[in-house]
A and B are shown apart, each in its own frame.
Chain A
């Protein structure tokens, strides 16, 4: 096993009276471990707090030592539930949000930040503040909401990258592509291959986007979908084909690259910085900025360029577009290329901010579908709006529901929206006959 370590930094909200503050600490162990230090804002260690780390078939508890440090070795990378035993917190100190006591985190190589909001004097009538703060729970909530909103927008932009391609392909061909998630995975792994060949990710990433767009977008359409359209394979049959393709691709990646998550060689463990109550890493800000530009460029392209306008015409009515001299097959080809390129970018984005694994795209597929359904199948603005809504909903929902359930919440939202407004937020009613 490769030498790996994971660090969990528990960052206190600066506005909280008391918080965890942990310096990243490397563990020179063969196994992954979750380590951290609990410090109050005045720099004193918080001693004797019980922390439990749990996963499937695994449970380990530890208590912060005299230096406020704790270390819990875990068998492998993966998702763990980190629980802070509130009863062991020093007197007068509580978690601002009781649901926060138990959080699920993804442990990989590198560093992970986790925010536990603390407040002092949970019961204000008591007035038993230790002087550091007054009415801090309110500020704590503001801080938490801000952090989640920022996380939500960043996640939403990532979803939008995937959803825009999904929706363009749906719009022009009518195909609901259940293998779109694998386009993300393929993009991320193309970049991994290049990266591991020694190419810096700054170069490998754009290269991988171009390769994916041509190979997995243009090529896929050319080799699979164009012949199927020529055979006049129905849409329902095609959807089943996308399922078969998704399974084939996913397990081929698993076979070739194995099941353990990977990271790119650069920017893996980037430290975050704080803007007010919000902590972000520079890489996710930069990635989100580039992604926004890419999405904006796509929208502009659809509105301004000749082929972009043709794309919209084909989405509207393929037969009519064809009759007016638009080369529908060319438009579809361009859309597949573009869609796969955006998806590859989304995959690399996901890989840089989290990890690269064989089922990363599959895990995001349903979230992308939720975004697209929410916004309206086939409408490009709908996909973007839907993605942002879903991204923020997923993050903000953790204020109320357990973190492990956040995706469930988004999928549930999708079903409710379908009941109330089936055509999505921005969708139109269809014409029959």
Chain B
């Protein structure tokens, strides 16, 4: 069951609220931050995504899981404006987002990371972080010749960036080029950088993929920490242990549709979920114990 060790107040609250919610696809939730309706995206004739209805509870850590090719990353792309659906509507904090440019989506407080990390290699770690801050006066082209306009803001941003880097134990690396970091450190940097935007909803696309197991635990703690500070987390993951460990709610996709929803312990015993995984991974052995789904390695690279 969801890890009960060291649960923060917001975790307890989210789990209490979601405990009252029915376990079925498309179920309404008491306080959704994100609501999507009839979102369809076709590649050629194939419907890569066909989501009738889905809600993400504010203050929760929600996992989006499913076999390879289920359309999880495409859902991320669609919701954040990086891809355009053939049809569909969705709202974030009650604001309609269909047709909104991806940079505006981020400014509204819905910030994503990418499955293949996008550390900006030839920028220093600190500059990567600073880039995340919004409403920077110095980002106007003419303002760069008038440094007194943005100096003080730049100092504030730098202080905030260092604070986050410190929390992610990366402060000693601040002057290094981001390209020199290890895979796991890049994941951390990308997550920290996304936090610089000040998101209400942070969407992590496979935060654990390619991360050294030694870093896994601290990464999990950071994600929990993000929620305790008030943000909502939606993440795509293949690592079932991790899903089990930190999520309050799990949404399962297969072949573009949502086939199950519920708390992790419940969903992973759902026969339709097991079928979906079996359909995709014929060879994967499944135990019939409560911990039914074994860790499935690899991603959709």
Query: Which A residues fall within an 8 A CB radius of B?
Result: 319, 428-429, 431-433
Contacts and interface: CB of A to CB of B under 8 A. Distances in A.
A431 B44 contact: no
B301 A431 contact: no
Nearest to B43: A431
A399 B209 CA distance: 60
Contacts of A428: 43-44
B231 to A, nearest CB: 21
A433 B77 contact: yes
B115 interface: yes
A432 B301 contact: no
B62 to A, nearest CB: 19
A429 B76 CA distance: 17
Contacts of B228: none
Nearest to B118: A433
Interface string B100-132: 000000000000001110000000000000000
Nearest to B80: A433
B115 A433 contact: yes
B154 to A, nearest CB: 30
Instruction: Name the residue among A428, A432, A433 with the largest chain B CB count within 10 angstroms.
Output: A433
Given A431-B74, A433-B205, 11 more contacts: A319-B301, A428-B43, A428-B44, A429-B84, A431-B83, A432-B77, A432-B82, A432-B83, A433-B82, A433-B83, A433-B116
Contact of A431 (B77, B114, B116, B205): B77
Instruction: Name the residue among A428, A429, A431 with the largest chain B CB count within 10 angstroms.
Output: A431
A429 B78 CA distance: 14
A17 B64 CA distance: 78
B73 interface: yes
A305 B77 CA distance: 35
A432 B115 CA distance: 11
B196 to A, nearest CB: 20
Nearest to A432: B82
A433 B44 contact: no
Contact of B114 (A319, A429, A433): A433
- The 7 lowest CB-CB distance pairs between A and B, nearest first, are A432-B82, A433-B77, A432-B77, A433-B114, A432-B83, A433-B73, A319-B301
Contacts of A432: 77, 82-83
A306 to B, nearest CB: 23
20 contacts: A319-B301, A428-B43, A428-B44, A429-B84, A431-B43, A431-B74, A431-B77, A431-B83, A432-B77, A432-B82, A432-B83, A433-B73, A433-B76, A433-B77, A433-B82, A433-B83, A433-B114, A433-B115, A433-B116, A433-B205
